């Protein structure tokens, strides 16, 4: 099976050297999306193909919200991967080192909640690593017609919930509620009609494009929105937070900027965290 990605300006990326390549946009994104677990912080991450000339098919770039790494305790997180055998799909917890002592191994955007890190996956893990052209520049997003009311979808782990024992993420849909959207320098984060929860942070927000099964990633989930309320009676008062069914995502232009920072950090012989 062959999946062909045609960007707005260039064409001709064939899915080679990956373990999953689906016919649908949604299936390709679900196979690129994984839970990022730590006892102090859990989020969602997605995989990008490592474009380094010496990279093997299992060398990938993990993208998530920076706070998922910053709040994590210890030196590692678990990337909750998946394998597939005669008995079907199974979860496979893979340790990814994010610190060496106090030294942070990830690359973060200086102003936005975005982090990326190179890592190597075990050979039996089933995944789909997106091409870098799947990350929308501002020009790509505008060319795709992104505006208020545009329909988006994403995969995540709300409240750390997994779809099944194999640790697949849950499919969600949303509409963009913000306006205006551009330039991204003025509007780095956008609201969408989606109830987001702890565990969703880092989830890729995407839209479908015609004539390709590769999603166009427009950003990643960073916050949820809740309203503080109080209930008062003659005997007691208590406070509670009410979900407004509003989430927000940082625009993909800042993911591209973070990837450029990662590229600048690479030197010959650099080791990838396992």
How long, in residues, is the chain?
274
pLDDT at residue 20, rounded to an integer: 72
Residue 246 or 270, more confident = 246
Secondary structure E strands in 98-193 = 99-100, 103-104, 107-108, 115-120, 151-156, 170-175, 189-192
Q: Does residue 28 belong to any structural domain of this protein?
A: yes
Burial status of residue 245 (CB atoms within 10 A of its CB: 0-12, 13-18, 19 or more)? middle
Q: What is the C-alpha to C-alpha distance for residues 142 and 80, in angstroms, rounded to an integer?
A: 34
Instruction: Find out whether 187 and 180 touch, Cβ atoms under 8 Å.
Output: yes
Reported as a single tens digit per residue, the pLDDT across 80-132 is 999 999 999 999 999 999 999 999 999 999 999 999 999 999 999 999 999 99
Q: Does residue 7 belong to any structural domain of this protein?
A: no
Q: Does residue 95 belong to any structural domain of this protein?
A: yes
Q: Does residue 10 belong to any structural domain of this protein?
A: no
Q: Residue 242: enclosing H or E segment and its boundaries?
A: strand 237-251
Using CA atoms, how far residue 262 sits from 11, 67, 252, in Å, is 25, 17, 15
Cα angle 99, 163, 23; round to 5: 95
Q: What is the CATH number of the domain that holds 258?
A: 2.40.10.120
Domain that holds residue 82: 15-265
Listed residue (161, 146, 186, 134) closest to 25, CA to CA: 134
pLDDT at residue 194, rounded to an integer: 86
Residue 15 or 207, more confident = 207
What percent of the chain clears pLDDT 90, i.e. is strictly above it? Answer: 76
Listed residue (224, 188, 228, 176) closest to 44, CA to CA: 224
* Range 128-144 average pLDDT: 97
Q: Does residue 223 belong to any structural domain of this protein?
A: yes
What percent of the chain clears pLDDT 70, i.e. is strictly above it? Answer: 82
* Range 148-173 average pLDDT: 96
SS3 67: helix
Reported as a single tens digit per residue, the pLDDT across 189-240 is 999 998 888 889 999 999 999 999 999 999 999 975 544 556 676 666 666 4
Could you tell me the two tokens for 11? 């064409």
Q: Does residue 225 belong to any structural domain of this protein?
A: yes
- In the chain, the number of structural domains is 1
Q: Does residue 24 belong to any structural domain of this protein?
A: yes
Reported as a single tens digit per residue, the pLDDT across 19-50 is 677 789 999 999 999 999 999 999 999 999 99
Q: Does residue 1 belong to any structural domain of this protein?
A: no
Spacing of C-alpha 87 from chain mean position: 28
> pTM of the entire structure?
0.86
């Amino acid at each position: 099976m062959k999946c062909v990605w045609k960007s707005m300006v260039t064409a001709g990326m064939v899915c080679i050297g990956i373990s999953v390549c689906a016919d649908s946009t949604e299936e390709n994104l679900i196979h690129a999306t994984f839970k990022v677990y730590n006892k102090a912080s859990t989020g969602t991450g997605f995989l990008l193909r490592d474009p380094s000339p010496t990279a093997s098919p299992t060398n990938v770039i993990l993208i998530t919200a920076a706070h998922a790494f910053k709040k994590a305790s210890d030196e590692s997180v678990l990337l909750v991967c998946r394998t597939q055998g005669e008995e079907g799909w199974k979860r496979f917890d893979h340790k990814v080192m994010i610190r060496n002592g106090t030294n942070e191994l990830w690359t973060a955007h200086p102003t936005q909640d975005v982090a990326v890190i190179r890592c190597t996956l075990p050979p039996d893990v089933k995944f789909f690593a997106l091409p870098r052209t799947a990350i929308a520049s501002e020009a790509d997003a505008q060319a795709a017609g992104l505006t208020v009311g545009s329909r988006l979808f994403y995969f995540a782990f709300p409240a750390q919930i997994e779809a099944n024992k194999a640790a697949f993420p849950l499919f969600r849909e949303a509409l963009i509620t913000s306006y205006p959207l551009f330039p991204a320098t003025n509007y780095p984060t956008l609201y969408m009609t989606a109830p987001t929860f702890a565990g969703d942070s880092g989830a890729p927000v995407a839209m479908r494009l015609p004539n390709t099964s590769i999603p166009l990633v427009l950003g990643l989930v960073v916050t949820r929105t809740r309203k503080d309320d109080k209930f008062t009676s003659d005997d007691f008062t208590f406070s509670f937070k009410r979900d407004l069914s509003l989430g927000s995502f940082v625009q993909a232009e800042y993911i591209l900027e973070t990837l450029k920072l990662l590229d600048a950090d690479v030197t010959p012989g650099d080791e990838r965290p396992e």
